[in-house]
């Protein structure tokens, strides 16, 4: 065998051993283990290396105890799970050295204050008033027998625009807008509008036109100042007095633009019937606001992850009134889980689901997981996910991990969910992300 052949065989053997090591269990556990780890204070975390070797773990014992040790350095067997119990909040590093001397892994640890919330599941009625006048369409004003015009369209007003003030006066009431238009028309004056469009404030001027058929002054705009609907409460945080619901933004039904909330209420609601989902046709919960029902809370924010505001107490009836731990996005895994939701009246029930896919998200983004309804009872009653179920809390391993957000139109047994971490951030409870804490450290 010449030198060229020997080199070729040596290369093949080397590739074989590299592949063998790469597919070995210890290597896979090492490669998959994160270099950064976030922990809630007081919540135990177990790490699995499954390597039959001893190592020394070094970490600040005031922040994290390893296998219950109060020492800075602890000898462990990596074949067994590492038990981490975080204590004081802050950031630190945990180092692992094989046999006490060979560097193996360095993990950046961030400990945040313990957080528990009460899962919801109750169907709620939502009534919101926009922070201005929403433009949802244009129409033509018949000024003479053969002439039509839309002053608003000619003035550069577009669908989805939010009129926030007229002649320097803030406005979010359609009736008041109609009165102002009438007075300006009779006086022959031009209205000066301040319009919000895509985060920008624009100034527009419109002169009302007289409708010869309706005998009234018009702007040629279809406008709306409020919206209402039903959804599901995701969580209530009793220590902070805040809630989160829906899991997705409320949009105007005509323009599909997010509604900028000026004020709003969350009220008691009861499910009267279910229009079942089928392939190509998502169903819906039919519900009604309970007459004389008390206001449960207000609506302060409408974000990509739902609505948020203040709430004085957990709405009743509830599935359980005890707070549960919450999970960071990286803790959510594929496998069995459960949702809490209402399919009749006001009774919250627990149903089985499967988390079939988890997206790796290090910053807020929707569609964090794909879920599939596996509960036969729920499938028989609803056909899968239906409108009005959005916001239903997702529970996995005793932790609140996310909320139902959307249904797959062609497969209503499946849909999307968002991570609870992003909802807690928008609620103002989980204030800092890991990256922010690391910069602060």
Tell me if residue 375 is catalytic: yes
Tokens of 178: 């109609």
Q: Which of 60, 352, 375, 411 is catalytic?
A: 375
Residue pair 258/128 in contact (Cβ under 8 Å)? The answer is no
Tokens representing 289 are 């606001």
Residue pair 136/187 in contact (Cβ under 8 Å)? The answer is no
Catalytic residue among 150, 225, 248, 392: 248
Q: Which of the residues 277, 390, 392, 414 is marked catalytic?
A: 390
> Is 390 marked active-site?
yes
> Is 60 a catalytic site residue?
no
Give catalytic residue positions: 248, 375, 390
């Amino acid at each position: 065998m010449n030198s060229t052949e020997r080199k070729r065989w040596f290369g093949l053997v080397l590739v074989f051993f590299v592949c063998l090591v790469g597919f070995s269990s210890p290597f896979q556990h090492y490669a998959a283990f994160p270099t950064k780890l976030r922990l809630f204070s007081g919540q135990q975390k177990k790490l699995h290396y499954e390597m039959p070797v001893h190592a020394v773990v070094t970490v600040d014992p005031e922040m994290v105890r390893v296998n219950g040790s109060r020492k800075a350095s602890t000898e462990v067997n990596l074949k067994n799970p590492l038990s981490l119990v975080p204590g004081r909040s802050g950031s630190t590093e945990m180092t692992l050295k094989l046999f006490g001397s060979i560097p193996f892994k360095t993990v950046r640890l961030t400990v945040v204050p313990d957080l528990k919330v009460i899962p919801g599941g109750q169907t709620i009625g939502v009534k919101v008033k926009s922070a201005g006048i929403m433009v949802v369409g244009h129409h033509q004003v018949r000024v003479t027998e053969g002439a039509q015009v839309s002053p608003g369209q000619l003035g550069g007003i577009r669908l989805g625009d939010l009129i926030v003030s007229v002649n320097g006066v803030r406005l979010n009431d359609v009736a008041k807008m109609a009165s102002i238009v009438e007075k300006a028309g009779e006086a022959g004056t031009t209205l000066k509008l301040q319009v919000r469009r895509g985060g920008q404030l624009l100034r527009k001027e419109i002169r009302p036109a007289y409708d010869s058929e309706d005998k009234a002054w018009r702007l040629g705009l279809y406008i709306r100042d409020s919206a209402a609907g039903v959804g599901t409460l995701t969580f209530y945080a009793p220590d902070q007095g805040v809630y989160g619901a829906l899991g997705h933004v409320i949009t105007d039904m005509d323009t599909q633009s997010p509604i900028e909330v000026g004020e709003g209420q969350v009220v008691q609601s009861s499910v009267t019937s279910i229009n079942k989902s089928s392939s190509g046709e998502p169903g819906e919960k039919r519900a009604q606001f309970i007459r004389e029902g008390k206001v449960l809370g207000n609506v302060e924010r409408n974000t990509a992850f739902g609505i948020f505001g203040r709430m004085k107490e957990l709405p009743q009836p509830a599935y359980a009134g005890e707070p549960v731990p919450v999970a960071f996005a990286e803790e959510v895994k594929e496998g069995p889980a459960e949702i809490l939701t209402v399919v009749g009246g006001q009774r919250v029930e627990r149903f089985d689901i499967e988390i079939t896919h988890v997206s790796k998200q290090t910053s807020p983004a929707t569609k964090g997981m794909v879920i599939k309804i596996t509960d036969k009872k729920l499938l028989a009653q609803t056909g899968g996910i239906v409108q009005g179920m959005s916001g239903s809390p997702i529970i996995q391993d005793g932790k609140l991990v996310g909320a139902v957000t959307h249904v797959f139109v062609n497969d209503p047994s499946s849909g999307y969910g968002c991570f609870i971490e992003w909802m807690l951030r928008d609620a103002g409870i989980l204030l800092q992300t890991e990256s922010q804490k690391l910069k602060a450290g």
